[in-house]
Structure 1
C-alpha cells in the first residue's frame, strides 16, 4: 500500500515540508482554517502498523496499530504548545522503517516514512551519528531533491539533531514490572524529555509497542536466513560489499543474487537500483546479518555532525519606553546575523506585561536563541546586535533553564 494519495500530493507542494517541520520561515500559503488533516499508515505486516495523523503547521500525532487493540493507540504527538514527541530512540525508528520497506514495495527506506517520522525519534546515549546522518540526509533528499542542502549535511538533518539530541541529558532506560522498556530522565541538563513512554505511564501502549518491535526484528532477521545467501557465489559477492568501498561491488552482488534465483524483489531492487547509496547499504547489512548501522558507518565514514554541539540560550530584552517594533526588530536582525554566520537562529518567545492605569504595558520580550558549534562566536554576534540597538546594558543572556548570566562583552 503506497502513501495516501492526498498526502502524497500535498507533500509535493513546496510549502509542505517547511510547514510540517514547524519551520519559522515557512510560507503561509494555506490558510489554517483550510488546511486539511491527513492520515496515513506504515504497515510492517502481521497486523502491525504505525498511523500518522497530521495537519501541517499545526499538529502531528503518531499511533500504533496492533493485534488485540480495538483502535490505534497514541504513542506521541508534536505541536507548538504541549508536545510529547519523544517516542523512540533512533535504532527503533530505523528498524521499523526497514521492516515497513520489506513489507511494502512502495515505501522505500530511506524515504517518506523516515522523513515524516524522524520527529518522533531521539538520540540516546551511545548513538553513533556516523550510522544515522547518511540515512536522515538521504530521506530528506528523496523528498526535497535540490532543496534544503547546507554544506556537508542537510538543514533538516541538522535541525533534527538540534531538536532531538538527548545524549548527555540523564536519560535512564528501565525495564518495567511487565517486562517492557521505559525511559526517564535523571537530570535537567540539556533538552528535557517529553514522552508518554515513562516508567509510571498509564497512557503508553507498552505491550503493543514491544510486540511491534519484536515482529520487526524477526521480519528483518528472517531475511538473512534465506538459503540463497549461503551459495558460494552470492556469499563471495556479499562479502566484497562489506568493505569500506563495498558500494562499488553492488552490481556484482545484484548479478549473483539474480543468477541464484533470489526472489525478494524489494532487496534486489535496492541492490541493483537503489534510490540512494544509503538504501543499498542497509539492505546489504540486512542480507549479511550485520548489526544495524555498522556498514553505514563503514561506507559513509565520519558524520559531519560528529563533535557538533548546540546551546539553547534565553535573552531577556527590556522594551519599556522603546518603539513598538523594537523587540521584533532585534529578534529579526539577530536571527539574520546568526544564520548568515552559520551559527544558529533566534526567535521571539514570551513577553512580560505590567499593569498601568487600568491597562497593561509591555515591558520585556524573551528571545529563544540556538547557538551551534561555537558558543563564543555566537555570544559575539548577540552582543554586537544588542550594542547596535543600545540594548546590551539592559539585556540579560543565560543558558535556558539556568540562572547564571552569560557576560556580554563591551563593543570592539
Structure 2
C-alpha cells in the first residue's frame, strides 16, 4: 500500500526510462550481525514483526535469507537466484530503523533480485516507496549520498551490530548514485570499505599431501600441491571496483508526486540533530577537545589516546569503542572522530582522501 495520494504519479524518467513498484508484506525473518572492528558477519534468527525491532537489544533486522545472499558474490553482481525456494520464499524484507520511528526498508524479489527501497514513517507500518530497480540496475536516485551516509551513521549509533560503513551502505548505496554535487573519490572510499567489510565463514582447508613420507624424488611440493585457501571476503578487489563505478545514467524519482519528500526531510533533520547532540552529552563532552584536535590536524596517531580517554570517562558504547579500536579501520575512525568533534560529516575524510 502507498501512503501518499493525490493524482497519478508520472513514470520516473532516466534521463530515458523507468518504472515503479508495489509494496510487499510486513513480516520478516530476523537475525543478527556480529561486528569486530569493521568486519561484518551475519548469523541466523527468529520470526518477528518488523515493528518489534529495536536498536540495541541485540536483535537486528537481518534474516538468514539475507545472510546467505550477502555471502554470495553473484547477489552483488545482480545475478538471479536459480530457485527462490532455496531461500525460503519469494520476497525478502529488511528494515533498518533510523530514528524517531523512521526506517529504511529494502524489499528484494528473490527470484529476479529486483529491489525496492521504501521509507517507513512513525504513523504507518507499511513503507512508502522511494525507488525500485531491476537486479542489474540502473538504480534510481532515491537518496542523495549525504542522506544515506547520515542515516547510516545514525543506524550504527543506534545498533552497534550494524557498523558504518558496512552492510547498510553496501545494500543501499546503489539507490544513492553519484551526482555532479558529490565527491567521487570520497564516496568510492566509503563504498569500498563497506564492501570489504562483508565476510563469510570459511571452513578449514582439507589436509593435503601424502599420508606417509614419500620417496625423496617425489617429495617436492609440485607433487603435492596445496589447494588454494578460500577467502573470507565475499568480494575481491575487481568486483568491488565494478560495484563502485559511477552509474552512467539513473532514474530521477524524487520529483514524483508520490515521493515522500516531507517524510524524508524529517528523518534527515532528526538524524542530523541526533548526531549534533552526541558531542554535547555524557562522557563525549569531556573528550570533544581531543577529538577536535585530531580533526584539525588530520593525524590519526592520537586515536588510542582518544579511545583511552573515552574509556576512562565511562564510555561503554560498542559502536564508538569499536570504531576507534585496533585493528583500526580508517574510514570507520574518520566518521567517529567527526561525530565526537561535532564536525560536518565527511570533514576528516576529505582531508585524508
Q: Quickly name the TM-score band, shorter chain normalised.
A: 0.5 to 0.7
Matches within 5 A, 1:216-365: 216-226=271-281, 228-231=283-286, 234-242=287-295, 246-273=299-326, 276-299=329-352, 301=353
In structure 2, distance between residues paired with 1:206 and 1:69:
16
Runs of 4+ deviating beyond 4 Å: 32-35, 80-84
TM-score (norm 2): 0.66
What does the per-residue CA deviation read over 1:349-398, in whole Å, with 9 as the maximum and x for residues that have no partner?
xxxxxxxxxxxxxxxxxxxxxxxxxxxxxxxxxxxxxxxxxxxxxxxxxx
- The answer (yes or no) to whether the contact 2:166–2:195 under 8 Å persists in 1 is yes
Deviation at 1:206, TM superposition (A): 1.6
2:119 corresponding residue in structure 1: 64
* Aligned partner of 1:211 among 254, 262, 266: 266
1:6 corresponding residue in structure 2: 64
- Aligned-residue Cα RMSD (Å) equals 2.7
In structure 2, distance between residues paired with 1:12 and 1:196:
27
- The answer (yes or no) to whether the contact 2:62–2:94 under 8 Å persists in 1 is yes
- Give the secondary structure class of the aligned counterpart of 1:272: coil
Deviation at 1:230, TM superposition (A): 4.0
Matches within 5 A, 1:17-166: 17-22=73-78, 26=79, 30-31=82-83, 36=89, 37-56=91-110, 57-69=112-124, 71-79=126-134, 85-144=140-199, 146-150=233-237, 155-163=239-247
In the superposition, relative to structure 1, how do residues 270 and 225 fare at CA in structure 2: closer, same or farther (>3 Å)? same
What does the per-residue CA deviation read over 1:171-194, in whole Å, with 9 as the maximum and x for residues that have no partner?
xxxxxxxxxxxxxxxxxxxx4441
In the superposition, relative to structure 1, how do residues 92 and 260 fare at CA in structure 2: closer, same or farther (>3 Å)? same
- The answer (yes or no) to whether the contact 2:139–2:174 under 8 Å persists in 1 is no
- Give the secondary structure class of the aligned counterpart of 1:9: helix
In the superposition, relative to structure 1, how do residues 105 and 229 fare at CA in structure 2: closer, same or farther (>3 Å)? closer
- Give the secondary structure class of the aligned counterpart of 1:53: strand
What does the per-residue CA deviation read over 1:79-102, in whole Å, with 9 as the maximum and x for residues that have no partner?
059966210121111011001111
In the superposition, relative to structure 1, how do residues 89 and 208 fare at CA in structure 2: closer, same or farther (>3 Å)? same
In the superposition, relative to structure 1, how do residues 84 and 126 fare at CA in structure 2: closer, same or farther (>3 Å)? closer
In structure 2, distance between residues paired with 1:75 and 1:261:
40
- The answer (yes or no) to whether the contact 1:243–1:298 under 8 Å persists in 2 is no
In structure 2, distance between residues paired with 1:275 and 1:109:
13
- Give the secondary structure class of the aligned counterpart of 2:197: helix
**Larger relative contact order (Cα-Cα within 8 Å, sequence gap ≥ 6):** 2
2:252 corresponding residue in structure 1: 195
Query: Structure 2: where are the runs of 5+ without partners?
Result: 1-58, 200-231
Larger Rg: 1
TM-score (norm 1): 0.57
- Give the secondary structure class of the aligned counterpart of 1:247: coil
- Give the secondary structure class of the aligned counterpart of 2:251: coil
Higher strand share: 1
